[in-house]
């Protein structure tokens, strides 16, 4: 399996390197870092001051990607889908494309002092979560499993960056 990490707009190199260094241990997959892609202007919703996650994913349908690979786009902009106030990420299994936002994973977003270790762990958890969806996993009822739905940062912090036994079994 090949996983392509695709930065959308400006994303800190440290975030991309952290994902490149940690995702292979979770998936046993080869990783490829794609060139930076521009954020599609049509994804921005002025009234919400956010980017529509589904529009971003749709814009990547035509991007040249390695055949059979999973693509995870990483963006430093706030994402939403119409039914929710925000999302940390979204996945489209049909096209093997997911996107995560790192914006709300920072302590400073909530007026707290930055903590690089907490931030990077959150980024990894959200990346693994969306890639899990691309591998046909749904949300898990186990609050410690990386596939548990994160409705808040507290949910993300509670869960592990790995799959629970049941989800791991479903991947095998």
Distance CA(5)–CA(118), nearest Å, equals 21
Task: Confirm whether 130 is a catalytic residue.
Answer: yes
Taking the model in full, what pTM does it have? 0.95
Write the class of the CATH domain 2-136: alpha beta
Cβ neighbours of residue 19 closer than 8 Å, sequence gap 6 or more = 5, 31, 72, 74, 123, 124, 127
57 half-sphere exposure, CB direction, 13 A CA radius: 24
In eight-state DSSP terms, residue 145 is S
Exactly one of 62, 83, 114, 130 is catalytic; name it: 130
Indicate the domain borders of the chain. Answer: 2-136
For residue 131, give the nearest of 62, 69, 38 by alpha carbon. 69
pLDDT values of the chain reduced to their tens digit, one per residue, 172 residues? 899 999 999 999 999 999 999 999 999 989 999 999 999 999 999 999 999 999 999 999 877 777 788 999 999 999 999 999 999 999 999 999 999 999 999 999 999 999 999 999 999 999 999 999 999 999 999 999 999 999 899 999 999 999 999 999 998 8
Helix (H) or strand (E) holding 13: helix 13-27
């Amino acid at each position: 399996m090949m996983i392509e990490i695709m930065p959308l707009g400006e994303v800190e190199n440290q975030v991309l390197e952290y994902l490149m260094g940690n995702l292979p241990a979770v998936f046993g997959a080869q990783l490829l870092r794609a060139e930076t892609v521009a954020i599609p202007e049509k994804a921005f919703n002025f009234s919400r001051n956010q980017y529509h996650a589904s529009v971003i994913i749709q814009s990547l349908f035509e991007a040249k990607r390695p055949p059979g690979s999973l693509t995870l786009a990483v963006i430093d902009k706030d994402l939403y889908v119409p039914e929710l106030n925000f999302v940390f990420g979204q996945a489209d299994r049909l096209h093997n494309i997911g996107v995560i936002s790192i914006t709300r994973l920072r302590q400073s977003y909530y007026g707290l002092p930055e903590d690089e270790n907490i931030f990077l762990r959150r980024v990894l958890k959200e990346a693994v979560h969306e890639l899990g969806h691309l591998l046909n996993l749904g949300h898990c009822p186990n609050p410690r499993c990386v596939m548990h739905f994160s409705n808040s940062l507290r949910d993300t912090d509670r869960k592990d960056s790995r799959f629970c036994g049941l989800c791991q079994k479903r991947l095998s």
